[in-house]
Amino acid sequence: MAPARSSHRFRHSMLSLFVALATLVAAARAQLSPTFYTSSCPAALVTIKTAVRAAVLLDRRTAGSLLRLHFHDCFVQGCDASVLLDDTGNFTGEKGAGPNAGSLRGFGVVDTIKALLEALCPRTVSCADILAVAARDSVVALGGPSWTVPLGRRDSTTASLSLANSDLPSPASSLSTLLAAFARKGLSNTDMVALSGAHTMGQAQCPNYRARIYNDTDIDAAFAASLRAGCPATGGGGGGAPLDVSTPNAFDNAYYGNLVAQRGLLHSDQELFNGGSTDGLVRSYAASPARFSSDFAAAMVRMGGIGVLTGSSGQVRHNCRRVN
């Protein structure tokens, strides 16, 4: 009986931890408001939306890049724009972390938005809020759902290379690792599966899926073969491939249909549909675009409340790349 009691205690401890973290996230999110800039910078939202639309028209990959910036920001010491900081003599930023180096894009678009907002409303709109709104507008630009973004985040004065390396899930992650990583941020299993649907847009580089297309067995043979020509089994180089091979330039639920057909690009993608606890949810999203859109929007709001700085904490950076 001892092992059973131990297992029960472990599950109870994990549940208690999740509830506590979810409560903290909810409390932080409650300090935000969608009308935060109504008086101080009434043109803030339309300015961000216009700039995002222009950037996506020039390069549709930008939508996925801006969404990814927000995710990679929130998972490392909270949604505080720490991901945007360049290295300084006082700290090493997050841009060079394993999950970020050579793959994060969109910094120039954020710089442009910040410059526009500084001209309109100096020292008012935070870089963290820019990332949150730009992520929403990027999804909408590719035909995805919209949601109301709570605002009032402030920017960090430091960044953490070590946390970026430890807290961002790897493309080689197992299902249990993914679920645990999201639970540590106060996000549920449903949130994890819904947020993974962000991989309906964007690309991955060959090193991130090489092992999958040569070693994994839970992959459609024709799909794997089609990728090998652009991603050699050994050596450097290799190109990239869309995370959603079906509709790479649209935000939709095709990602989940790909998983059901064993055409997930990353090992961590296919883990969501591989005989585990999330199979049913994947099938549900594959069958219902409406349910996916609704759950994704709700999960984005929850993720956007992780570890936010509000009130007098942090600062509003004048330049998103450096502390004031």
Q: Does the annotation list 247 as a binding residue?
A: yes
Contact 163, 324 (CB under 8 A): no
Give the residues across from 241 on adjacent strands: 204
Calpha distance 252→259 (Å, rounded): 14
Instruction: Determine whether the annotation assigns residue 94 to a binding site.
Output: yes
Q: Label residue 311 left, alpha or beta by phi (over 0 means left) and psi (-120 to 50 means alpha).
A: left
* Residue 252 labeled ligand binder: yes
Which residues have a Cβ under 8 Å from the Cβ of 305 and sit 6 or more positions away? 25, 26, 28, 29, 32, 79, 150
**204 - beta bridge partners?**
241
Q: Which of 12, 70, 72, 318 is catalytic?
A: 72
Q: Rounded to whole angstroms, how far apart are CA atoms 317 and 124?
A: 9
End-to-end CA distance of the chain: 59
Q: Is 148 labelled a binding residue?
A: no
Residue 10 sits at the vertex; the CA angle it makes with 9 and 14, to the nearest 5 degrees, is 115
| Cα 213 from Cα 226, distance rounded (Å) | 9
Nearest-5° Cα angle at 203, 269 to 100:
85
- Our answer to whether residue 70 is catalytic in this structure is no
Annotated ligand binding at 311? The verdict is no
Q: Is 42 annotated as a binding residue?
A: no
Provide the token pair at 37. Answer: 């800039």
137 annotated to bind ligand = no
Q: In 3-state terms, what secondary structure has residue 83? A: helix
Q: Is 323 annotated as a binding residue?
A: no
Q: Is 169 annotated as a binding residue?
A: yes
Tell whether residue 82 is among the known ligand binding residues.
yes
Q: Is 177 annotated as a binding residue?
A: no
Whole-number Cα distances in Å, 105 to 4, 13, 17, 295: 48, 38, 34, 26
For residue 78, say whether it is annotated as part of any ligand binding site. yes
Binding residues: 73, 76, 78, 80, 82, 94, 169, 199-200, 244, 247, 252
Residues tagged in the binding site annotation for Ca(2+)? 73, 76, 78, 80, 82, 94, 200, 244, 247, 252
**Sequence ranges of the binding site for heme b:** 199
Known catalytic residues are: 72
Could you tell me which residues are annotated as the binding site for substrate? 169
